[in-house]
Amino acid sequence: MHNPKRHIGFIGLGVMGKPMALNLIKAGYSLVVYDIVQELVQELTKAGAQKADHPAQIGSQSDVIITMLPDSPQVEEVISGKQGILEGAKQGSVIIDMSSIAPMVAIKLSKIAAEKGIKMLDAPVSGGEPKAIDGTLSIMVGGEESVFNAVKDLLLCMGASVMLVGDIGSGNITKLANQIMVAIHLAAMSEAMVFAEKAGVDSEKVFEAIKGGLAGSTVLNAKMPLVLDRNFKPGGPIRMHTKDLINVRDTALEIDAPIPLTTQIMEFMKALKADGKAEDDHGGLIQYHEKLAGVQVKRK
């Protein structure tokens, strides 16, 4: 059973962080929160959280500090920067970074934290805003097993699947592997459906015909109905997926891994960003192929 006496800090109350923090409050944990956007902090204080003025204050008031931030630079600043978590955190406390960042940055930060007697896990998530809201995220964790076991109850308040995959950094390697596969699924769906549309065959019927076979996938089932409705309201925006693929590229350079398909899809996404579609859902990748073909995939 979880320990409601534990003090939890939560930094980063955006699209994903806010519902995750609310789920912890619902589960009976006492939270102290921080975000640069005051309106988001106010929403959480109304729900029962305390507020902090800076990350160091969160560090001093919490046994476990969760961060959910856009990318590596923000995580570095919040953890090890001026008035960062490590300025206030007590020896023996745990930082769980749930952002999607470069694995090498997670490793570097865990070493800095270890010098102060503070443990760290990298625990990025998959599932987007809907699963953050209903607490059914997939959480991929890197770090020491004893630390993971001590906070698993917390993670299960935010996710349906919580898995330790290896040492610190391996959580983000797993997340990046996930993002490679999602990107390639989306590109395959886009190419196939634009091909069918260009041939004059109803793409909705093509989708219905192939979704139960070997080409079927969770990505296809989740994204194709939205494409047919021309609904590109972001669950996961192109901007954020591009950021993940840039982290894949940087990590692949460091470890000498080949990523020819990922590199190509990253360029498709960059083209869409340049076309003003950075905030579209990543299912909107199909618009790249549509533009080349001069067709649009939609319900007839």
> What is the enclosing helix (H) or strand (E) of 67?
strand 64-67
Q: Is the dihedral of CA 228, 233, 239, 244 positive or negative?
A: negative
131 an active-site residue?
no
Structure tokens at 25: 């409050």
Q: Closest Cα partner for 289 from 265, 273, 262?
A: 265
Residue 256: count other Cβ atoms within 10 Å of its Cβ: 6
> What is the enclosing helix (H) or strand (E) of 244?
helix 238-255
> Are 181 and 144 a contacting pair, CB within 8 Å?
no
Question: Using H for helix, E for strand and C for coil, what is the string for 76-88?
Answer: HHHHHCCCCHHHH
Buried b (16+ CB within 10 A) or exposed e, 210-237: beeeeeebebbebbbebbbeeebebbbb
> Are 189 and 219 a contacting pair, CB within 8 Å?
yes
- Degrees to nearest 5, angle at CA 177 with 221 and 139: 75
Choose the catalytic residue: 18, 119, 131, 175. 175
| Active-site residue list | 175
